[in-house]
Amino acid sequence: MLDLGSMPLANALVAADELDEPEDRFPLALAFCSECRLAQITEPVSPDLLFRDYAYFSSVSDAMVEHARRLVDEVIRRVGLDKASLVVELASNDGYLLQHYVEREIPVLGIEPARNIAEVAAARGVPTIAEFFGADLADQLARSGRLADVVHAHNVLAHVPDVHGFVAGIAKVLKPTGLAVIETPYVRDLVDRLEFDTIYHEHVYYYSLSSLARLFGQHGLAIVDVERIAIHGGSLRVYAAHEGSRTPDLAVAQLLEEEEASGVTRREYFVGFGQRVGALGEELHRVLADFRSRGDSMAGYGAAAKGTVLLNAFGIGADILDFVADRSPHKQGYYVPGVHIPIVPSERLVEAMPDATLLLAWNFAEEILEQQRQYRNLGGRFIIPGPTVEVL
C-alpha cells in the first residue's frame, strides 16, 4: 500500500551528544493480507529495542487521562466491580487509567514492559509488573490465582508481533465471566483520513473489526460489543468475552456488514493510498514554501511518534522548523529522530512566537489549540497537516 523507505524509530529521541552518531534505520512499508484481512508492516522490529525504555507517558495528555476516567466509570457500571474484583491492564503505561480504579478501591495490576514508565506507575500507587505480556506470563498469573474480571488493552494490540500469544494470554487470565476491553486505531480511519503518519515500526498491525473478530475467535473469545471512538484519530473499542458467556450486541453484526460493504476487507480498498500520501506531501511543502517566501519563522508542536514519521517522510528538517515544542519533560532537551530538530518546552512557543507552527500531534489538536490560546491570540497560526493542509 505504501513504502516510506528506511526510517528511524519514531520514539528513539536523540540526545545532544549523539547527533553525530549514525541512527538505526529500518524499512517501513505497509502491506495487506487478503487471507486474514489484516494490514501490517512488512518487517517488524524487536519489541525489546522499541519498548524497554520508552518516551511516551500517557498522563502528559489531560485528554487521555479524562478519556480513561470516563471509560473506568463505564466499565465499573457495566461489569459491577467492587473491592473483591481484579482489573488487569496490559501495556498500562504510567498508570493513567488504572489510577482511577485505585481511587475507587478496586484492586488492579498493571503490566508494562518499559521499566522507566513502570517505575512511575508504581510510585503512583499502581502495582506494575515490568514485563512483556504473552502466553507465558498469562500462565504464571493464572497459576497464582490472579484471574481478571476485566482486562484492559489500549493502544497495544497494534504493537505486538506475537499477536496470537497476546490474545491467547488474554483468554488465560480472563475469568469465565470476565470482560476484555480493547482499544486500537481503526484502519478505515487511517485510510479515509490519510493518517499515514500513524504507520511506524511500533505499529505492526492495523485492524478492522473483521480482522479482530477472526483473531479473537481463534482463541475462544468473541467480540460482544463495539464502538467507534475519536481517540487517536479514530479507533475501535471492542469488548470481548469467552465464547458463549455473553450475548453479542447488534452493533457487532452491523459494523461487520458495514465493513464488508465498504470494501475494507479487500485489497482494492487500499489502492491509491500511497499516491494520496505523496500528494499530501506536495501540498504541505507548498504551504510551508509560501510561509518561507514571506520570511516567516516556523516551528513544530508535539514531538509525537507520528511527527517523526511525517517530518522524515516529507523531508522537513531543521532548515524549515526552528524547534518542536512539547509539553513532556521526558522529551525536552532531545532532538527529533532523523531530522534532528531540537525539542523544547511548550512555553517556548509564546516566548519565540514563530509565525506558523506545524501541529505534529494532530490527534490532540483540540487540547493543544486550547492550551496554546495565548499563542493564537498573539497572532500565531497552526498548520494542520492532514487529511488536507489547513492553516488556523
Q: What is the pLDDT of residues 151-178, one digit of tens each?
A: 999 999 999 999 999 999 999 999 999 9
Q: Residue 34 — pLDDT band, cuts 50, 70, 90?
A: confident
Condensed to tens digits (0 to 9), the pLDDT of residues 111-133 reads: 999 999 999 999 999 999 999 99
Distance CA 160, CA 44 (A): 9
Asked whether residue 59 carries a pLDDT value surpassing 90, the answer given is: no
Rounded Cα–Cα distance for residues 178 and 87 (Å): 10
Which of residues 246 and 51 earns the better pLDDT score?
246
Distance CA 373, CA 132 (A): 40
Identical topology for domains 34-270 and 274-391: yes
- Please state, rounded to an integer, the average pLDDT across all residues of the chain: 95
Average pLDDT over residues 370-376: 95
What is the percent of the chain where pLDDT is above 90? Answer: 90
> Taking CA 368 as the corner, what is the angle to CA 8 and CA 360, rounded to the nearest 5 degrees?
25
Please tell me the distance from the alpha carbon of residue 39 to that of residue 187, in angstroms, as a whole number: 8
Q: Which residues fall within 8 angstroms of residue 31, CB to CB, at 6 or more apart?
A: 1, 39, 40, 41, 42
Helix (H, G, I), strand (E, B) or coil at 331: coil
Distance in angstroms (rounded) separating the CA atoms of residues 384 and 392: 8
Given a cut of 70, whether residue 37 has pLDDT beyond it is yes
- CATH assignment of 34-270, among 3.50.50.60, 3.40.50.150, 1.10.3720.10, 3.40.190.170: 3.40.50.150
**Dist CA 354 CA 292 (whole Å):** 12
One-letter amino acid identity for 388?
T
Q: Which residue has the higher pLDDT, 363 or 53?
A: 363
* Burial degree of 68 (CB within 10 A; 0-12, 13-18, 19+): buried
pTM metric for this prediction: 0.88
When pLDDT is averaged across residues 244-249 and rounded to a whole number, the result is 96
Q: Find out whether 152 and 89 touch, Cβ atoms under 8 Å.
A: yes
Q: Which of 197, 205, 194 is nearest to 167 (CA)?
A: 205
pLDDT at 15: 96
Q: Which CATH number fits domain 274-391: 1.10.10.10, 3.30.1490.20, 3.40.47.10, 3.40.50.720?
A: 3.40.50.720
Q: List pLDDT tens digits, range 168-222.
A: 999 999 999 999 999 999 999 999 999 999 999 999 999 999 999 999 999 999 9
Across 304-323, average pLDDT: 96
pLDDT grade, residue 363 (50/70/90)?
A: confident
Dihedral sign, Cα of residue 375, residue 376, residue 381, residue 383:
positive
Q: Please list the alpha-helical segments (H only) found in 36-186.
A: 47-51, 62-79, 98-103, 115-123, 135-143, 163-173
Band (pLDDT 50/70/90 cuts) for residue 48 is: confident
Which residue, among 34, 45, 39, has the nearest Cα to 10 in the 3D structure? 45
Is residue 245 helix, strand or coil? coil
Domains in the chain: boundaries: 34-270, 274-391
Helices (H), the chain: 47-51, 62-79, 98-103, 115-123, 135-143, 163-173, 187-192, 209-217, 250-262, 273-293, 305-313, 348-352, 365-371, 373-377
Q: Among 284, 313, 311, which Cα is nearest to 4's?
A: 313
How much is the pLDDT for 307? Answer: 96
Helix (H) or strand (E) holding 383: strand 381-384
* Tens of pLDDT, residues 68-95: 999 999 999 999 999 999 999 999 999 9
Question: Cell 490560546 identifies what position?
Answer: 373
pLDDT of residue 55: 67
Q: What count of other Cβ atoms lies within 10 Å of the Cβ of residue 145?
A: 7
